[in-house]
Structure 1
Amino acid sequence: MTHLRPIPVLQPGEAMAARLAREPRAFRLAELVAMSSERRARTAIERGEVVRLLPDAYVSSLHADSFVARADAALLWAGANAALSGAAALFVWGLIDAPPSQIDLVVPHTDRPRGPEWVRVRRVTWNLTAGRVGSLTLVSRDLAIVLGFGTLPRDSRGRVVYRAIATRATTPDRLAATLARVPRCRSRRELLARIEAAARGAESHLEEHGARRVFNTREFGQLVRQHRVRVRGELFRIDMYDAATMTAVELDGAAYHSTPYQRQRDVRRDAILASMGILTVRLTYADITERPQWCRSVVRDVLAVRRTTDSAPQRSAIGGMRR
């Protein structure tokens, strides 16, 4: 995993501090000296214009708190065989939105780097393959999920799995295969449950929660998960569908249903489905997570009413039902 690190070239009259300010990355002392001179490099360090984050890993003081600079410093310090892992790799891959305060690394078991608290090193005996994103070396998306899943807050773990699958960064089968070859990882059972839920068709934590915790009783066993219908040439995915009554149950997470555009899209969708006699019942994130019994009662009552009317294809179109 060794990669050449080009050394920036100073322009005539350009100060080292000004040049490094344009480089959110780490440098060895020898690189700073080669860029200018030993005297100018040490002067920049003494003035605090360049700071040492780790042994022989220096960054511009402007970028000392930057995730990219700190991640690059950790990789430079740990050696050519190191790779970003866990939440650090998940952030670089775009699978979590906020950079972690701790940098996770994996290294071969023969390497023994020891760093400060903000760097966590895992030594592994299994084959380690890594790729590159920009200037950073990191493990694959699948391995980042397996190693980082248990370190994330509980309310964000599912989103990582479903986002990776929804964006086609991985598949449930690939994730399961990667998990099988890693002997130790945190929250293994929970991750496996999420992978299995995704393999069954769940595309969000809310859908998984609804299927496992809310509509998991026998009376809702007839609901088809992730049903797809085509109306007027458009394909629609329904979270849960009762074929006998032509009723769609949608579990609306805030991330995809809260903006004016998204609400307008949902209204249009409900109208198109209603033109075929399909009634849409929408339940919000708060409904599903805070009052599951109410959700069961609403869906139960709607299905009961729909069963007592005429056959589904002959029903008049009904708009989406909301609280």
Structure 2
Amino acid sequence: MRTGVVADAIGDRLTIPLRLAAAVSRVPRLPGRSRLVRLIDLMVAGCRSYLEVFGVEHVFSGEGLPEFARQAPITAGGRTYLLDLFAERERVDVELDGAAWHGSPRQRERDLRRDAALATEGIMVVRYSYRRLVGEPDTVRLELSRILRLRR
């Protein structure tokens, strides 16, 4: 199944996860149905990109890691931000930076301003690139586990 196509359709606001869930529920015999249902469930729970789905499935779950809030709304500096993965107790925001959304100098400046605003609320932002997350999932998991332990 093409995870990116589903994530792009939701990200581009062509549909919403609940509408996809309803459509799939009406088709009991569909090739790859169980994987599609799992993907839609992750999208309903707040994943908004292929990178977030990959992170939840392969990196940011399991022993020693908290249950992260996905797309958690946090107000800082008079603005509300949606945090990709938020460990509330530790006050750590994990941002997954795909090049498509975070590659330009203008977007990088926005990210820096956002990180500074979140810091004023005591929130530490940890960013992982696509390359690092997909290429070094075990290293990323260990690094994040250490960060969370130190923040407790």
Indicate whether 1:290 and 2:101 are aligned: no
Q: Determine the C-alpha separation between the residues in 1 that align with 2:134 and 2:31.
A: 25
Which residue among 164, 174, 179 is the counterpart of 2:9? 164
Q: Percent identity?
A: 39
Aligned-pair CA distance for 1:184: 4.3
Moved over 6 A (4+): none
Aligned-pair CA distance for 1:304: 2.0
Distance 1:183 1:247, change over 3 A: closer
Q: Determine the C-alpha separation between the residues in 1 that align with 2:36 and 2:89.
A: 34
Aligned to 2:72: 227
Q: Determine the C-alpha separation between the residues in 2 that align with 1:281 and 1:295.
A: 11
Aligned-pair CA distance for 1:231: 1.3
Q: Determine the C-alpha separation between the residues in 2 that align with 1:183 and 1:301.
A: 43
Aligned-pair CA distance for 1:285: 0.6
Q: Determine the C-alpha separation between the residues in 1 that align with 2:88 and 2:28.
A: 43
Q: Determine the C-alpha separation between the residues in 2 that align with 1:173 and 1:224.
A: 18
Unaligned runs of 5+ in 2: none
- Select the structure that is richer in helix: 2
Indicate whether 1:302 and 2:147 are aligned: yes
Amino acid in the other structure paired with 1:181? R
Which residue among 85, 102, 115 is the counterpart of 1:270? 115
- TM-score normalised by L of structure 1: 0.44
- TM-score normalised by L of structure 2: 0.90
Distance 1:222 1:185, change over 3 A: closer
Indicate whether 1:253 and 2:121 are aligned: no
Distance 1:222 1:198, change over 3 A: closer
Amino acid in the other structure paired with 1:237? L
Aligned to 2:49: 204
Q: Determine the C-alpha separation between the residues in 2 that align with 1:178 and 1:222.
A: 28
Amino acid in the other structure paired with 2:9? A
Aligned-pair CA distance for 1:185: 3.5
Aligned-pair CA distance for 1:251: 1.1
Asked whether the equivalents of residues 61 and 67 of structure 2 are also in contact (C-alpha less than 8 Å), the reply is no
Aligned to 2:34: 189
Q: Determine the C-alpha separation between the residues in 2 that align with 1:178 and 1:243.
A: 34
Amino acid in the other structure paired with 2:150? V
Q: Which has the higher contact order (CA 8 A, sep 6+)?
A: 2
Partner SS, residue 64 of structure 2: helix
